[in-house]
Amino acid sequence: MDITSARPAVGSNTHGRPETVLYREAVSTELPPTQRVSQPVAQGQTGSPDDRRAGDGAARTAQLYADRQARAGRIADTLREAMFNRIDTIDQDKNAATLVYRTIDAVTGDVVKQYPDDMVLKLRTYAREMARKEEQKADDTARVEKIA
């Protein structure tokens, strides 16, 4: 007999527990959020101080909903300010011979984002200037050779 197998042994009778059969035959019920099933209070007894009534749950749910809507409104306002108070520009940097994409804050005028970065622009300008000097040096040597 294989005891490590997940399959039941041949001839074994596998039935669920009797209480699970009752759950399968049960009818599902859905109550609106304002109603709640609770045990009735017996005569002569008073409810506990934290006993909740049906209306309390609805008020609490409405308050949570209002709080969440207010928070979502604040987030939307922050995003709207962040997105619509910015100006996108495309400029040409003549020294680096490239286009520069900038996002500028409309209120303060500060550059929020820039592509390519200032350091890259400086490196491109330097490389372009060095290449121009090399070309000029090559032209000068060619001119000297023509004269000689």
Residue 112's pLDDT is 86
Q: Which residues pair with 115 in a beta bridge?
A: 101
Residue 123 CB coordination number (10 Å)? 13
- If one compares 139 and 70, the residue with the highest pLDDT of the two is 70
Pinpoint the alpha helices (H) of 4-87. 18-25, 54-84
Residue 131 in tokens = 């290449």
| Mean per-residue pLDDT over the chain, rounded | 76
Nearest Cα to Cα of residue 115 among 140, 90, 148, 135: 90
Strands 111-115 and 86-93, sheet pairing: unpaired
pLDDT tens string 12-61? 555 555 555 555 566 666 777 677 666 666 665 555 544 455 556 777 88
Query: What is the mean predicted confidence (pLDDT) over 123-142?
Result: 89
pLDDT at site 147 = 67
